[in-house]
């Protein structure tokens, strides 16, 4: 079982901060399927090498991924906390879909509702 210290608010805040970027969420979802090298992540997401590297560093610093060098390539995989985060993301997606179905919303309506919740910054 996990150490109780994993539930510290500061650690959870670090996880949420690391997962707050859509590209980092996509990387976590790719890594659910198994370890990937940076070049595979880059090709799958259509990002530059430096951008992928920056996102991987953020996820690694939050403790959500681990990496291993194999020759000239570095393969990333989800760490134990990263697997917990991936299950959490999947459960949020399921809850969002069920909420939309219950309200009779289409995917486009769900997206429109989500964007309506974002506050515009004053000029």
Task: Kindly list the structural domains of the chain, giving each domain's residue range(s) and its CATH number in brackets, ordered by start.
Answer: 4-116 (1.10.10.10)
Question: Contact, 18 vs 25, CB < 8 A?
Answer: no
Q: Which residues contact 90 (CB under 8 A, 6 or more apart)?
A: none
**pTM for the structure as a whole:** 0.72
- Using DSSP's 3-state secondary structure scheme, residue 8 falls into coil
Model confidence pLDDT, tens digit, residues 27-44:
999 999 999 999 999 999
**Count of residues in the chain:** 123
pLDDT tens-digit readout, 80-123: 888 888 888 888 888 888 877 666 655 565 555 554 444 445 55
């Amino acid at each position: 079982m996990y150490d109780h210290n994993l539930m510290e608010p500061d650690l959870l805040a670090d996880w949420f901060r690391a997962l707050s970027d859509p590209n980092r969420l996509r990387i976590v979802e790719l890594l659910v399927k198994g370890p990937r090298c940076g070049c595979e992540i880059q090709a799958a997401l259509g990002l530059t090498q430096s951008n992928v590297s920056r996102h991987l560093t953020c996820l690694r610093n939050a403790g959500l991924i681990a990496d291993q060098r194999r020759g000239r390539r570095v393969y990333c995989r989800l760490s134990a906390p990263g697997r917990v985060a991936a299950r959490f993301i999947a459960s949020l997606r399921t809850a969002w879909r069920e909420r939309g179905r219950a309200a009779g919303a289409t995917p486009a309506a769900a997206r429109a509702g989500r964007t309506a919740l974002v506050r515009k910054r004053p000029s």
